[in-house]
């Protein structure tokens, strides 16, 4: 969809690899000016250079969204460089290894809840504050998961964090609808990224493929396309929605 985001300013958290990187590139190709964050600076600089080499505008901001000051700084960077903020994709987050309830610690809880829930909440506050200040509405997409609406054993913190993402998405969609700020989420299935794809463990790959109705894992660009759609004028009457990008997993 070339040009569908012409003149828009988009912020992407966790944009140094995987779904975040794919979304930054897709949005730049669609005409948006990109600000993106991540904690791995070498990867961030590489994505920044890639977008610029293709003729796009991009600024990488080293940031940890689990810190309120970093969330504020990323939004301020967008405003200082491009004048406003129109779109945000709150993608930053972590998965967790399998662990039983009675073996879990407070540190395990914080390792997931800080980036996945508190970090998204800090980001939403900073983004919506700016969109309200400038007027004209905006589009926000949060990254949930198939586990935002179902459970699984041995990964309760991750599952709970994604349920929280969907709860915030629906609640803020209602709260800010009158201001023209749309808030939606994507719910990916098992996607081939560094967080979920382990080709050295074929049994794990077979499990992930079998979870979908379509007999394969998803690609990061397929999620990016869904984010691009929800961020665009084509989705102008959509808010509070959770869009599965899961090869039919939740339909099974």
Contact call for residues 242 and 184 (beta carbons, < 8 A): yes
H or E element in which residue 171 lies: helix 156-175
* 43 C-beta neighbours (distance < 10 Å), count: 15
Task: List the beta strands (DSSP E) in 39-126.
Answer: 58-62, 87-90
158 annotated active-site: yes
The one catalytic residue in 158, 172, 207, 229 is: 158
Nearby residues of 190 by Cβ (< 8 Å), 6 or more positions away? 196, 197, 208, 209, 211, 212, 217, 218, 249
* 4 C-beta neighbours (distance < 10 Å), count: 17
H or E element in which residue 183 lies: strand 181-188
Smallest Cα–Cα separation from 68: which of 143, 121, 10, 139?
121
List active site positions: 158
């Amino acid at each position: 969809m070339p040009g569908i985001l012409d003149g828009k300013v988009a912020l992407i958290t966790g944009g140094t690899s995987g779904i975040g990187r794919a979304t930054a590139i897709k949005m730049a190709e669609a005409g948006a000016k990109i600000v993106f964050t991540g904690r791995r600076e070498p990867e961030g600089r590489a994505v920044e250079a890639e977008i610029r080499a293709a003729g796009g505008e991009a600024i990488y901001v080293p940031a940890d969204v689990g810190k309120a000051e970093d969330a504020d700084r990323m939004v301020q960077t967008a405003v200082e460089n491009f004048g406003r903020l129109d779109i945000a994709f709150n993608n930053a987050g972590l998965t967790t290894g399998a662990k039983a309830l009675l073996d879990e610690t407070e540190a395990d809880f914080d390792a997931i809840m800080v980036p996945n829930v508190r970090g998204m909440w800090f980001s939403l506050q900073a983004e919506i504050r700016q969109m309200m200040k400038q007027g004209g509405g905006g589009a926000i997409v949060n990254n949930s998961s198939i586990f935002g609406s179902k459970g699984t054993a041995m990964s309760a913190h991750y599952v709970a964090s994604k349920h929280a993402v969907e709860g915030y998405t629906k609640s803020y969609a209602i709260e800010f609808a009158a201001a023209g700020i749309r808030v939606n989420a994507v719910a990916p299935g098992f996607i081939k990224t560094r967080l979920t794809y382990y080709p050295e463990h074929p049994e794990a790959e077979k499990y992930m493929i079998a979870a979908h109705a379509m007999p394969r894992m998803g690609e990061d660009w397929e999620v990016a396309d869904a984010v691009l759609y929800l961020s665009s004028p084509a989705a102008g009457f959509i808010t509070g929605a959770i869009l599965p990008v899961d090869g039919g997993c939740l339909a099974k």
